[in-house]
């Protein structure tokens, strides 16, 4: 039965969606489809959402599981299987049924993608190897990833084709092995430099001790997996583990979603709140509040912005007096970017100012991350709108960071007066958070 959202994306929300399009255009998303979701009545809607992603020039790689189908085959044939979900030993009987289940799922996915006018291809891009013996137990025909033909997958993506990757792989000698599809998806995310790893199943995201979690830093998830993994339901434990390993390896975001929810995939990607669980890297650990000893570095960084008329000139003393309002972005102990948060009307309105990144680190996401972090701090303070004034970087604020152009009337009274006195004629930019 279809699950619904109280807040789902509507045609009127397209303006909000469009702010993400430049951000994700040309990026690779790895989407892992649980076998139980493939068998669900909502699966055609999931494929339609994937077609939407492709229409936005997002490169999609699909990895599918087979646990549900494997269990159904075993039940229909009254056969005992050794490993229903790819998390243990696989005997010959189980492998034969798994191969049959994989072929059926592959066919279903390719048929559905074709109905949505998408080019797709089943691949043999994964070479497997036997896991061997773990804690004294022979894993038999269960496999691990030996080699990924990323050039083949990349070529398919460049040719606007959706690769469909099966959890049945072949070893060097052509022998069949069963792989854990969660593991396979994480490996692909790492090797293809994916922006997102998305697990779509039939569970309500990631629950910890019975409570759904929206956002989870990878360090916190790792601690939980190490010390108290029993708080995580068995059916999502594998996805939690490989989400953590993928993010730790460099994938910026991993998402766990309930694909039975109508529009879950699009809402998770294009809505600021999302509908599932997002595991994220500790990139914000590079961002911290500035201290007095940072004032000289901030002054030196912003001096270049002053010379190009991107920033208003601020003396060292002025920076020192307002140092508590600055954020800095630090790489290898050096400050490479900064930003200032200014309160207006007793904290009801927050202005983002003095945004500058050293030239070497421009076009690498530093400025965007600073603004995202500043926006999250503003949201924590209960602020619904942030403002920014810019003479040279309006396109960056609008196209990359999701701001819109406003007018002088949108400024608080005190800021309106200072704006008119400055005479810089900066563009006024707004963003709802």
Q: Domain limits of the chain?
A: 11-281, 285-432
358: DSSP letter:
-
188: DSSP letter:
H
Rounded CA-CA distance 396/251 in Å is: 24
> Model-level pTM greater than 0.75?
no
Per-residue pLDDT of the chain (433 residues; tens, 9 = 90+): 455 554 454 533 555 566 567 778 899 999 999 999 999 999 999 999 999 999 999 999 999 999 999 999 999 999 999 988 888 899 999 999 999 999 999 999 999 999 999 999 999 999 999 999 988 999 999 999 999 999 999 999 999 999 999 999 999 999 999 999 999 999 999 999 999 999 999 998 898 888 888 888 888 899 899 888 889 988 899 999 999 999 988 898 999 999 999 989 998 888 756 789 999 875 555 788 999 999 999 999 898 888 887 788 889 999 999 999 999 998 757 888 999 999 887 778 899 999 999 887 787 788 988 998 898 888 888 888 899 999 888 999 998 899 999 999 988 888 888 888 887 788 999 998 7
β partners of residue 29: 60, 196
Cβ-in-10-Å burial (0-12, 13-18, 19+) of 302 comes to buried
Rounded CA-CA distance 29/259 in Å is: 16
295: tokens are: 């004032």
174: DSSP letter:
S
Burial track 84-97 (b if 16+ CB lie within 10 A, e otherwise): bbbebbbeeebbeb
174: tokens are: 């052509």
| Cβ contacts of 300 within 8 Å, gap of 6 or more | none
Rounded CA-CA distance 313/303 in Å is: 7
145: tokens are: 């990833």
The class level of CATH for 11-281 reads alpha beta
Q: Are strands 196-201 and 206-208 parallel, antiparallel or unpaired?
A: unpaired
Closest CA to 144 of 174, 175, 176, 177: 177
| Cβ contacts of 86 within 8 Å, gap of 6 or more | 65, 66, 67, 142, 167, 178, 179, 180, 181, 182, 183, 238
The domain made up of 285-432 is a member of CATH 3.40.630.30: yes
CA distances from 85 to 65, 139, 239 (A): 8, 14, 12
Closest CA to 64 of 98, 93, 102: 102
Rounded CA-CA distance 242/344 in Å is: 44
344: tokens are: 């207006």
């Amino acid at each position: 039965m279809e699950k619904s959202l109280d807040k789902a994306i509507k045609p009127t929300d397209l303006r909000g969606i469009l702010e993400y399009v430049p951000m994700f255009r040309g990026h690779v998303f790895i989407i892992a489809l649980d076998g139980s979701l493939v068998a669900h009545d909502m699966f055609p809607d999931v494929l339609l959402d994937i077609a939407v992603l492709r229409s936005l020039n997002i490169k999609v790689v699909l990895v599918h599981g087979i646990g549900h189908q494997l269990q159904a085959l075993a039940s229909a044939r009254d056969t005992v299987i050794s490993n229903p979900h790819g998390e243990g030993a696989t005997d010959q009987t189980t492998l034969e049924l798994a191969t049959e289940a994989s072929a059926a799922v592959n066919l279903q996915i390719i048929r559905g993608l074709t109905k949505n006018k998408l080019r797709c291809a089943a691949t043999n891009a994964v070479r497997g190897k036997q896991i061997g013996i773990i804690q004294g137990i022979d894993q038999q025909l269960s496999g691990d990833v030996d080699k990924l033909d990323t050039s083949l997958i990349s070529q398919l993506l460049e040719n606007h084709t959706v690769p469909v990757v099966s959890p049945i792989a072949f070893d060097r000698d052509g022998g069949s092995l069963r792989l854990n599809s969660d593991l396979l998806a994480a490996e692909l995310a790492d090797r293809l430099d994916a922006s997102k790893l998305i697990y779509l199943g039939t569970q309500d995201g990631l629950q910890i001790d019975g409570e759904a979690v929206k956002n989870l830093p990878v360090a916190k998830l790792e601690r939980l997996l190490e010390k108290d993994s029993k708080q995580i339901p068995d059916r999502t434990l594998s996805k939690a583990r490989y989400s953590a390993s993928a993010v730790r390896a460099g994938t910026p975001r991993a998402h766990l979603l309930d694909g039975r929810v109508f529009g879950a995939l699009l809402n998770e990607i294009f809505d600021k709140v999302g509908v599932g669980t997002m595991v994220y890297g500790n990139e914000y650990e590079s961002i911290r509040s500035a201290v007095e000893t940072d004032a000289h570095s901030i002054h030196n960084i912003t001096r270049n912005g002053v010379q190009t008329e991107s920033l208003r000139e601020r003396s060292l003393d002025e920076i020192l007096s307002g140092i508590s309002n600055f954020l800095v972005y630090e790489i290898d102990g050096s400050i490479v970017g900064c930003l200032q948060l200014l309160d207006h009307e007793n904290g009801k309105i927050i202005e983002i100012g003095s945004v500058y990144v050293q030239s070497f680190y421009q076009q690498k996401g530093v400025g965007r991350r600073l603004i995202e972090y500043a926006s999250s701090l503003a949201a924590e303070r209960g602020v619904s709108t942030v403002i920014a004034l810019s003479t040279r970087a309006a396109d960056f604020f609008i196209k990359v960071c999701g701001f819109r152009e406003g007018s002088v009337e949108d400024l608080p009274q005190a800021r309106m007066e200072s704006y008119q006195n400055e005479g810089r004629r900066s563009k006024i930019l707004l963003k709802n958070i």
